[in-house]
Amino acid sequence: MTLPEVRLAILAEASFGPLEAKTAVGMLRYRPARVAAVIDSTQAGRTAAQCAGVGGDIPVVASVDEAAALGAGALLIGIAPAGGRLPDSWRPVLRRSLERGWDVISGLHAFLSDDPELSALARAHQAQLHDLRRPPRDLRVALGRASRVDALIVLTVGTDCNSGKMTAALEVQRELVARGLRAAFVATGQTGIVIEGRGTAIDAVPADFVAGAAEALVLEAARDADVVIVEGQGSLFHPGFSGVTLGLLHGACPEALILCHHWGRERLRISSPDVPVPPPVPPLGVVREAYERAASWVRPAPVVAAAVNTRACGEPEARAACSATESELGVPTTDPVRFGAATLADAVAGRRTARGPALPAR
Amino acid sequence: MTLPEVRLAILAEASFGPLEAKTAVGMLRYRPARVAAVIDSTQAGRTAAQCAGVGGDIPVVASVDEAAALGAGALLIGIAPAGGRLPDSWRPVLRRSLERGWDVISGLHAFLSDDPELSALARAHQAQLHDLRRPPRDLRVALGRASRVDALIVLTVGTDCNSGKMTAALEVQRELVARGLRAAFVATGQTGIVIEGRGTAIDAVPADFVAGAAEALVLEAARDADVVIVEGQGSLFHPGFSGVTLGLLHGACPEALILCHHWGRERLRISSPDVPVPPPVPPLGVVREAYERAASWVRPAPVVAAAVNTRACGEPEARAACSATESELGVPTTDPVRFGAATLADAVAGRRTARGPALPAR
């Protein structure tokens, strides 16, 4: 997958916030230099930081043309509607982008390149439609091969969807690299793919091949790395996505898990009129036990650390949240965005050292 | 999905046996009147019963033309190569079928209607290509809605792939219907779909929608049934397919499970040179505990009965196998094909009665 080199306008119409706009927030946190503007007409005039807590002074604008004036040359869809279809209200923005000759990058389940109107428009203006969730052609069934690589494989897992699994994985990988270790990040969702420039959106792969897609990503990453940090997906407790979570767990064959939790979230993040009161998020000990149990069905893997998203708290409460989690689970815990990922990296590096030869220096 | 009404030739080339040719065997057991012949040139001249233990005197022939002479008017692909692609060696048989104007019914992951040569040939001869695994257009994310239906939902689960989950589900549903109960069978794989004439191959649905596809099937079946028996898929212990298994479990939201086991199988049925020694099948108690634990993450469901496939044994050993399983698990156990499904139906009907108003008579 080759994404355009130009700076991006990120579409987050009517939804630009820290939780609703995962892809926008991920790009703003990890690739801010690639972002020219965010499009959300309901918040035009504010900065990215004011709306979502990341992205500093990157401006929020109301239209494609305003983003172009700020140097944008392609559009990234930065929000993920449940079900993954293209809302009709976005079409004018996509049309305008393509008319300008911009590439459009999308993580929707509904592929833009299968849309007759948009693909005709792209052809007419020599623009490309990049569907991040399009599965690779070469799909295989997983066979547990990832359990045989020399690299230490670590998977982030969560109490819920949207609990900080991608962020924790990126933060710990960057910290390990900063320490001179050969650590790779494996992107398994559309945001991670845009940030990393490669990966597979495993939630869009035909179900028989979910684990196989994860296995292929891990085998490839392990060729040049001693530690492979895999971005987790979903949650074992989510009625819609647990199959993706387990397929990833059994395909990636991690040897260690990092448990991610959004502090203060009491109920699963299911927004549907059909579920007026979503199920509660289980206690952390129950969640940990579930992941360790499920891992053991193919390859045992303990939870070696925890990452707590304390975005909604003040600092004293954030420190208390980490301490409480650490006491409850008995593993090193931090908020890697707020306090840095050293604690998590220590736990992973220690695990790597404990299991065999020391990590080679660069 | 409307399948052709004519009698079928079932392709099982070089693989017509009780385990290798699941779709062929399923059709021969439950819809023998629809089958004119089986095509396997390596066993031509034998009967179906001699090759696979089902289908009585239905002849095995070497070619499409011989099957046509016996009254066949359409081709069903009766074997499922790992990975689900079309082997080149089958193309001549498919071409010949289409040249005769036969419809071809396929459960492969690779859709025949996406194959340029075959779809052109089908058009030229006014034949149809039926891809049983093509996902429905209207996909939704599961929300646990199936837990709210009035019907008792029962799911068959297995120690491994290919352990008798579809068969147990069909046998118990037929037994319940014979007793005058409104019991529905929900097909979730290609063989069940051909037998039942409807259903969704959930293993081919994009992973985010596996549970949602199961949920939709259950909600539809529950409209006209008091008991819904759902065909299980895969196994929580299979590194390739466990995600499908868990997605189905959490989408269908069963209230009771029937555990299926192929007696005597000691290792998972993984045939790949990459896995010279497949992992062992865990003890039955461990398997039961895993399914009950996994169910509890969304909706608790106990194992209420067990189905043992004793095909490989003589009758005394088969009875001993059922007794041993019954002792080990403490639930009613039988081989529903060999001894009938009364034991399983008793367990299910008892569960239905215990939880509320008695079942309405027809």
pLDDT, tens digit, 9 for 90 and up, residues A314-351: 999 999 999 999 999 999 999 999 999 999 999 999 88
Chain A neighbors of B250, CB-CB under 8 A: 239-240, 242-243
Alpha-carbon distance of A122 to A116, in angstroms, equals 10
B317-344 burial, b if ≥16 CB within 10 A, otherwise e?
Answer: ebbebbeebbeebebbbbbbbebebbbb
DSSP code at position B361:
P
Which of B145, B267, B297, B299 is best to mutate for the A interface (most A CBs within 10 A)? B297
For the cut 50, the answer to whether the pLDDT of residue A292 exceeds it is: yes
B23 min Cα distance to partner chain A (Å): 17
Residues A133, A138, A141, A143, Cα dihedral to 10°: -110
Partner-chain contact B206 A208, CB within 8 Å: no
pLDDT for residue A1: 64
Partner-chain contact B206 A203, CB within 8 Å: yes
Is residue B233 within 8 Å of A196, Cβ to Cβ? Answer: no
Partner-chain contact B143 A239, CB within 8 Å: yes
pLDDT for residue B84: 81
Q: Could you read off the pLDDT of A205-259 as tens digits, one per residue? A: 999 999 999 999 999 999 999 999 999 999 999 999 999 999 999 999 999 999 9
A59 min Cα distance to partner chain B (Å): 33
Is residue A243 within 8 Å of A301, Cβ to Cβ? Answer: no
Q: Categorize the per-residue pLDDT at A266 as very low, low, confident or very high, splitting at 50, 70 and 90.
A: very high
Alpha-carbon distance of A78 to A68, in angstroms, equals 17
Q: Could you read off the pLDDT of A19-78 as tens digits, one per residue? A: 889 999 999 999 999 999 999 999 999 999 999 999 999 999 999 999 999 999 999 999
Partner-chain contact B248 A243, CB within 8 Å: yes
In the sheet with A8-11, reading across from the earlier edge strand, the strands are: A60-61, A35-39, A8-11, A74-77, A103-106, A129-131
pLDDT for residue A361: 44
Is residue B196 within 8 Å of B122, Cβ to Cβ? Answer: no
Please give the interface size between A and B, counted as residue pairs whose CB atoms are below 8 Å apart. 163
Alpha-carbon distance of B212 to B200, in angstroms, equals 11
Is residue B271 within 8 Å of B260, Cβ to Cβ? Answer: no
B294 min Cα distance to partner chain A (Å): 8
Alpha-carbon distance of A166 to A155, in angstroms, equals 10
B67 min Cα distance to partner chain A (Å): 33
A306 min Cα distance to partner chain B (Å): 20
Query: How far, in Å, are A46, B145, B217 from residue A141 at the CA level?
Result: 47, 30, 25
pLDDT for residue A18: 86
Alpha-carbon distance of A299 to A143, in angstroms, equals 12
Q: Is B281 exposed, middle or buried (0-12, 13-18, 19+ CB in 10 A)?
A: buried
Q: Categorize the per-residue pLDDT at A3 as very low, low, confident or very high, splitting at 50, 70 and 90.
A: confident
Is residue A107 within 8 Å of A77, Cβ to Cβ? Answer: yes
Chain B neighbors of A84, CB-CB under 8 A: 208
**Residue linked to tokens 């001549």:** B92
Among the partner-chain residues B204, B208, B238, the one whose CB lies closest to the CB of A204 is B208
A304 min Cα distance to partner chain B (Å): 22
If residue B175 lies in a helix (H) or strand (E), which one and from where to where?
A: helix B165-178
Closest residue in B to A216 (Cα–Cα): B240
pLDDT for residue B356: 62
Which of A133, A162, A208 is best to mutate for the B interface (most B CBs within 10 A)? A208
The helix/strand/coil state of A258 is strand
Closest residue in B to A142 (Cα–Cα): B240
Chain A neighbors of B293, CB-CB under 8 A: 290, 293
Chain B neighbors of A236, CB-CB under 8 A: 246, 294, 297
Which of B208, B250, B268, B289 is best to mutate for the A interface (most A CBs within 10 A)? B208
Question: How large is the average pLDDT for residues A280-309?
Answer: 98
If residue B36 lies in a helix (H) or strand (E), which one and from where to where?
A: strand B35-39
Give percent of chain A above pLDDT 70.
97
Is residue B94 within 8 Å of B118, Cβ to Cβ? Answer: yes
Q: What is the ipTM of this complex?
A: 0.94
Distance of CA A132 to the CA centre of its chain: 13
On average, the pLDDT of chain A sits at 94
Q: What is the pLDDT along chain B (362 residues), one digit of tens a residue?
A: 677 889 999 999 999 998 889 999 999 999 999 999 999 999 999 999 999 999 999 999 999 999 999 999 999 999 988 778 899 999 999 999 999 999 999 999 999 999 999 999 999 999 999 999 999 989 999 999 999 999 999 999 999 999 999 999 999 999 999 999 999 999 999 999 999 999 999 999 999 999 999 999 999 999 999 999 999 999 999 999 999 999 999 999 999 999 999 999 999 999 888 899 999 999 999 999 999 999 999 999 999 999 999 998 999 999 999 999 999 999 999 999 999 999 999 999 988 877 665 454 44
